[in-house]
Amino acid sequence: MTFTNRFRTVPVAGMLRRLFVLRLYAIAGQTLAITGVNFGLDIRLPLLPMLMVVVLLVLLNLATWVRLAQPWPVTAMEFFAQLLVDVTALTTLLFYSGGSTNPFVSLYLLPIIVAAITLPALYAWALTTICVAAYSFLMFFYLPLDMPHGAAAFALHVAGMWLNFIASAVLITFFIGRMAASIRGRERELAEARETGLRNEQIVALGCLAAGAAHELSTPLATMAVVAGELQYQHGDDPALAANLQILRNQVTACKAILTRLTATGGAGRAEDARLLPVDIYLDELVAQWQLVRPAIGLQTRWEGIRPAPNILAEATLGQALLSLFNNAADAAPFAVELEARWDSRELTLDILDRGQGFNQEAAARAGEVFFTTKQAQGGIGLGLFLANASIERLGGSVRMLPREGGGAHIVVCLPLHEPRTP
């Protein structure tokens, strides 16, 4: 449960846990101060009411510990009430120990700082008003301390101010530092959520464009298939031309199959078409499918891993993502593509290596952005790597782009695996 003030969002449940820890230090410090002043400095204090206040704080912290184990969210009002109890306890202790003349009276600043950072402005101003009113009350109503007169009393007061400064500085550094770290972590999460939302919007928009393109491309592809068939029939006496026309027909058929899968799976590919396959069999099938489309590629493959091989979730979007990365490597260096796979029981690491131009500094920084491409001369539009990244990350994997030793590109794909089923 979170609450937003004018500048930032803070998780209140986390702050209540930190307040619980802070109160533990406060209880220990109050107990030490009361006993030390009464017995060490021989300044008589009303021990019974003061120690009762400390006991009530102990009981409150026990209740807070039980409360933190409950599933329901912490509200701003609840957190404000906790701070209000601390202010009341501090006021009571100060009332019995000199009021506004007590050097520890500046501890009122701690709950004010906590409220200003964690709570909405209304609660923060309310607690500030209460603390000011309590301080003002203690200027006129309190039990004076039985202290020595003269220089000794002043020295004790200065020593008390020194101890108060040390305690306040330590507590503020600890508590405010932890809250600041929590806030920075929350801001990072929000930034990542915004980036994810923006990328999801781009993917949805691309999905709509892909559906429209699939519908529009079906007619020209059908026409191309018919024309290529007629030309092959008419020029059957020319073996070289007939072979080229057959390659053209195979490519058109592959394009039609891709469009058919696109329109058939849509957004439900993972739910309906996903299946668990041994990772070595899946890679063999994927490479065989790729070589049907790119038969002239100079390819080397090497698979290494435990046997029997663990399973991978073989869904349509994952195959399309990996094929897109394979094609990028083939476009960069069609006669020097290497695929190396290593796996254990939990993860597959797939290395895609080529001897092309590789990535320069700008390309490495912007790789994966939508509509950014280094293949303008080859008609690239900057979608393959973006969609491959999105698909692989959606499955819990990752894609890294590295320069290859000796020149070229090195793409590292990591994907989660599943334990093989026992027959």
pLDDT in the model for residue 423: 44
Taking the C-alpha atoms of residue 182 and residue 16, their distance in angstroms, rounded to an integer, is: 13
Q: What percent of the chain has pLDDT over 70?
A: 78
pTM here is: 0.49
What digits encode the pLDDT tens for the residues 274-323?
688 899 999 999 998 888 878 888 889 999 999 889 999 888 778 888 88
What digits encode the pLDDT tens for the residues 246-257?
888 888 887 877
Above 90 in pLDDT, residue 421? no
End-to-end Cα, the chain, rounded Å: 46
pLDDT in the model for residue 11: 52
Beta bridge partners of 399: 413
Average pLDDT of span 3-21: 60
3-state secondary structure the chain: CEEECCCCEEEHHHHHHHHHHHHHHHHHHHHHHHHHHHHHCCCCCCHHHHHHHHHHHHHHHHHHHHHHCCCCCCCHHHHHHHHHHHHHHHHHHHHCCCHHHCHHHHHHHHHHHHHHHHCCHHHHHHHHHHHHHHHHHHCCCCCCCCCCCCHHHHHHHHHHHHHHHHHHHHHHHHHHHHHHHHHHHHHHHHHHHHHHHHHHHHHHHHHHHHHHHHHHHHHHHHHHHHHHHHHHHHCCCCHHHHHHHHHHHHHHHHHHHHHHHHHHHCCCHHHHHCEEEEHHHHHHHHHHHHHHHCCCCCEEEEEEECCCCCEEEECHHHHHHHHHHHHHHHHHCCCCEEEEEEECCCEEEEEEECCCCCCCHHHHHHCCCCCCCCCHHHCCCCCHHHHHHHHHHHCCCEEEEEECCCCCEEEEEEEECECCCCC
Taking the C-alpha atoms of residue 225 and residue 105, their distance in angstroms, rounded to an integer, is: 89
What digits encode the pLDDT tens for the residues 152-183?
555 666 676 777 777 777 777 777 777 777 77
Above 60 in pLDDT, residue 371? no
Which position has the token pair 């503020």?
A: 172
Of 395, 281, 279, residue with least CA distance to 345: 279
Taking the C-alpha atoms of residue 269 and residue 265, their distance in angstroms, rounded to an integer, is: 5
What digits encode the pLDDT tens for the residues 81-107?
999 999 999 999 999 988 888 888 888
Most confident of the ranges 222-226, 300-304, 365-369: 300-304
Taking the C-alpha atoms of residue 100 and residue 142, their distance in angstroms, rounded to an integer, is: 8
Distances (CA, A) of 164 to 33, 72, 105, 109, 157: 11, 37, 9, 12, 10
What digits encode the pLDDT tens for the residues 333-362?
878 889 999 999 899 999 999 988 876 655
